[in-house]
Amino acid sequence: MDKPQIYITDEEKINCRKVVDAFAEIFDFEDLVIVNAENYGFVKLQYFKFPYGFDTATAFFNSQSLFDDLWTEWLETQLINLSVGTPMEEMDYGDILKCMSKEKQKEFFDKRVYFAEKTGIKSILDDTMQRVAKAF
């Protein structure tokens, strides 16, 4: 029997677990779950419909892409919540963000830093700090 294919390194398994743990607080509010699929990486399952299962499954093999995806989920949820019942409701996420005050935008980016720090992964924190510096 052939040895099973490995799609994720041991280091990235550890780092992806740290990312999932850092974002754990959002899973109570989102219709998603992240599953450790061992050698196959981490899988984001989203939009559960009984009895059919999840509509979307996305595999992640590195912690930076998982972090970016979960950050986007968090940010888009915040923007949707802020736009409900306003003219911004029909706008796309980028336009909604542009309508926010600089202070509110900074709050969002500060939350990205918060999540990056929670991971304890230097490369993710460095990337986040570069993105925040470009934004402001």
Q: Is the pLDDT of residue 16 over 90?
A: yes
DSSP β-bridge partners for residue 36: 42
Q: Is the pLDDT of residue 55 over 70?
A: yes
Tens digits of per-residue pLDDT, 83-105? 999 999 999 999 999 999 999 99
Torsion angle defined by CA atoms of residues 29, 125, 41 and 72, in that order, rounded to the nearest 10 degrees: 40
- Whether the model clears a pTM of 0.85, i.e. scores above it, the answer is yes
Greater confidence (26 vs 102) lies with 102
* pLDDT, average across residues 22-35: 86
Question: Reduced to 3 states, what is the DSSP secondary structure of residue 35?
Answer: strand
Q: Which of 34, 52, 53 is nearest to 44 (CA)?
A: 34
C-alpha to C-alpha distance for 6 and 8, rounded to whole angstroms:
6
Predicted pLDDT of residue 5: 75
Question: Reduced to 3 states, what is the DSSP secondary structure of residue 67?
Answer: helix
Q: What is the rounded average pLDDT for all residues in the chain?
A: 93
Predicted pLDDT of residue 30: 74
DSSP 8-state secondary structure symbol assigned to residue 24: G
Sequence-ordered strand ranges (E) for 1-66: 32-36, 42-49, 53-60
Enumerate the H helices of the chain as residue ranges: 10-22, 63-83, 93-99, 102-119, 122-135
* pLDDT, average across residues 11-40: 92
* pLDDT, average across residues 18-25: 95
* pLDDT, average across residues 12-29: 92
Predicted pLDDT of residue 42: 98
